[in-house]
Amino acid sequence: MIQITEPRPITETLAADARPDLLGLSREALSETLAPVTDRPFRAKQIYQALYERAVRDLSEITELPRDLRERLDERFRVGLPDVASRHLSADGTAKYLFRLRDGATIEAVDIPDRGRRTFCISSQAGCALACAFCVTGYWGAGRNLTAGEIVGQVLAIRADRDLPMEGLNLVFMGMGEPLLNLPNVKAALDILTEWISPHRITVSTVGILPGLEEMARWERRPNLAISLHAPDEESRGRIMPINRTYPLAELMAALRRYPLEKGRKLTFEYILIRGVNDSLRDADRLSRLLSGLRAKVNLIPVNPDPVLGESMVPPDDAAVEAFKERLRQRGWIATVRRRRGDDVSAACGQLRAFGRDPRGVRARTPKTQL
């Protein structure tokens, strides 16, 4: 592991800066916001492009604008790119970013290069209230919703850091938080991001918040949908995912059967494999029955253990993972096993904890759920 930067304290100027943020505004809202300074539509367009295509940190960097306009803009507005508090580069090329937001909240995002592809895994909330038994973010508890600017800002900040264009990226909302509990801001961020990135390259992952799914079903341009399923029946899902008591599996599956899928598209079902909990071949058979009739693929994720999760969160051995996958394949499903990436920098699935918050607590607290 190569540690490039250490967490550093929030700067006073950052905290004290009261200028409104331009990031996260739609084209129309940006024009309206800029109107007192410039009412020329092409200026708003230039600024919009510079914010998102070039990921400028500062309005004074938009040198194609006349100097006096730049100065007036800079006096009144800021570009709220999140501060990179630390960055860890894994031996496999995965980079984990810890961002510090204006109010001091910390979130994580991961840059995952994979052969020709590149995927950013981004956060939608600064924490998570859902308390899934296998998830480190959930262990630390709830945090506030991110603004649209803070969501888009993660993409821009990683791009700026790595000098990457917007084109060619894949995005997954699989970082911290539950995107469907912050849907208005996620939608506003997607409206901007999908100007450059096809919704087919964007995946929103959810535990299955039913009102959120119903709303997404009405969107005109829908990203791919991934469902964190993790267990094939009510009882065992309820034990590892408390949200199952609010939105039971049966209702979730019914909502997914109604969910409009474009031609050729599939739902992704994420299924964490936990030894002795949900990894038997009977579980694979039950899972197969549960999905029957759906256009779906299954992504198996051997659970990533973590000290805060307790002793019971152990992945099955490779042979058991392989057997589970094979059973699903025999039953006609597309099933893949998610490779572990960024393991050495705790960037792997479910390990995003925003270390900046209280790293000492890791030892001080006892695991929340015992299976």
Q: Does 134 bind ligand SAH (CB under 6 A)?
A: yes
301 counts as binding ligand SAH under rule CB under 6 A: yes
349 is known as an active-site residue: yes
Q: Provide the residue type at 282 as one letter.
A: R
Alpha helices, DSSP H only, in 123-175? 136-140, 148-162
| Min CB(327)–ligand SAH separation in Å | 20
CA separation for the pair 153, 259 (Å, rounded)? 30
Please count the other Cβ atoms lying within 10 Å of the Cβ belonging to residue 113.
15
Least distance in angstroms from the C-beta of 335 to ligand SAH: 15
> Which residues are 21's β-sheet partners?
78
Nearer to ligand SAH, 79 or 226 (CB): 226
Interactions with ligand SAH, residue window 164-223 (CB under 6 A): 174, 178, 205-207
Q: Which residues pair with 173 in a beta bridge?
A: 204
Considering only 37-45, 106-114, 146-154, 298-306, which stretch makes contact with ligand SAH by CB under 6 A? 298-306
Pick the catalytic residue: 61, 64, 108, 262?
108
CB atoms within 10 A of CB 268: 21
Alpha-helical regions (H) of 23-87: 27-34, 41-52, 67-76
CA triple 199-204-206, angle to 5 deg: 155
Nearer to ligand SAH, 128 or 152 (CB): 128
| Contact pattern from residue 242 through residue 271 relative to ligand SAH, giving x for each residue in contact according to CB under 6 A and a dash for the rest | ----------------------------x-
User: Looking at 51, 272, 300, 308, which residue binds ligand SAH (CB under 6 A)?
Assistant: 272
Distance CA 350, CA 304 (A): 7
- Tell me how far apart the alpha carbons of residues 60 and 69 are, in angstroms, rounded to a whole number: 9
- Which range touches ligand SAH (CB under 6 A), out of 8-16, 152-160, 289-297, 300-308? 300-308
How many other C-beta atoms lie within 10 A of the C-beta of residue 115? 5
Residues making contact with ligand SAH (CB under 6 A): 134-135, 174, 178, 205-207, 228, 270, 272, 301, 303-304, 349-350
Q: Which residues are catalytic?
A: 108, 349
